[in-house]
Amino acid sequence: MTIDLSIGDFSRMTQLSVKTLRHYHEVGLLEPDRIDSSTGYRYYVADQVPTAQVVRRLRQLGMPIADVRAVLASAPADRNRLITGHLQRLEEQLAETHSAVESLRAILERPGGNSAAAVIEHISVAATSAAAITATVDRDDLLPWWHGAMGELRATVAADANSGAAGAPAALFDFDIFAHDHGTATVFVPVERGVRPAGRVQDVVIPAAELAVMRHRGSHDDVDLAYGALGEYANRHEISIEGPLREYYERFSWDTDDSTEWLTTLCWPVFRADA
């Protein structure tokens, strides 16, 4: 015999508030077993308790209602895939949160401001023959574009036995990316003898530049601190110009999984009166 459970009893059994149960009914996530036509009261049955418990935990894990609805409607194999995918995203978010917390703690504990321990040098870079991929990108799309373009570029250079890589992979980020959230980005690898064009990869000459540089060790989660020091230095000395930022990836993710071992040379474009 099926026993009707009032919304109050169902709330006590599932630890979901009456307000939440009504909302889940309205959005089609967890509907009552029946509704009394004369009173409008919602009634549930005991068989719905396990479903409510699953819904409660998925929502506690931040799964959107549409995704929870998809989980409930899926076959077991698809259900597990959806839940596993969401858990993986949560783990990634947790890692990002942990990294952000550590970066913030480092800022708060650093004496004397961001640039206190900064070692900044001036270098002159000559025009360089390079294999490169260039595109106009939105700032929000810059990181995924960089990953895809850098992977394609490195694979193409490695496959071209005649090119002869002559330096670390690098990138240019035009001023408009930061001033207008839309601009030109280039990833490149210096080469000795040019490269045979393939796919998006072209043979180009990277222009000469005067740069203020800083070596950044570790992941790029706190790279803004280094750029803050570089920009403060260039503007304080009134030598900053609206040229592209440069990054040279001396040791990076393709060299080691240990991000503490990464080494990037960060470059701020400057005017050198003594050059």
Q: Is the Cβ–Cβ distance between 212 and 239 less than 8 Å?
A: yes
Whether 11 shows a pLDDT value over 70: the answer reads yes
Domain of residue 18 covers 5-73
* Dihedral sign (CA 77, 79, 83, 86): positive
Are residues 40 and 172 both part of a single domain? Answer: no
In a domain, 153, yes or no: yes
Are residues 153 and 45 both part of a single domain? Answer: no
In a domain, 108, yes or no: no
Which one-letter DSSP state was computed for residue 164? -
Across all residues in the chain, what is the average pLDDT?
Answer: 88
Are residues 53 and 131 both part of a single domain? Answer: no
**Residue 32 confidence (pLDDT):** 95
Residue 257, judged by CB atoms within 10 A of its CB (0-12, 13-18, 19+), counts as exposed
CATH code, domain carrying 177: 3.20.80.10
Are residues 130 and 26 both part of a single domain? Answer: no
Whole-angstrom distance, CA of residue 240 vs CA of residue 210 = 10
Number of domains in the chain: 2
Whether 115 shows a pLDDT value over 70: the answer reads no
**Residue 239 confidence (pLDDT):** 92
In a domain, 105, yes or no: no
Are residues 138 and 258 both part of a single domain? Answer: yes
Are residues 64 and 150 both part of a single domain? Answer: no
Mean pLDDT of 10-39: 92
| Start-to-end C-alpha separation, the chain | 92
Tens of pLDDT, residues 157-213 = 998 877 788 899 999 999 999 988 999 999 999 998 878 899 999 999 999 999 999
Beta bridge partners of residue 235, listed in sequence order: none
CA–chain centroid gap for 19, Å, is 36
CATH code, domain carrying 26: 1.10.1660.10
Mean pLDDT of 38-51: 92
Are residues 214 and 153 both part of a single domain? Answer: yes
Pairwise pLDDT comparison (108 vs 5), residue with the higher score: 5
Mean pLDDT of 147-163: 90
Tens of pLDDT, residues 45-67 = 999 998 899 899 889 888 889 88
Are residues 254 and 161 both part of a single domain? Answer: yes
Please give the full DSSP string across 204-215, using - where no structure is assigned. Answer: EEEPPEEEEEEE
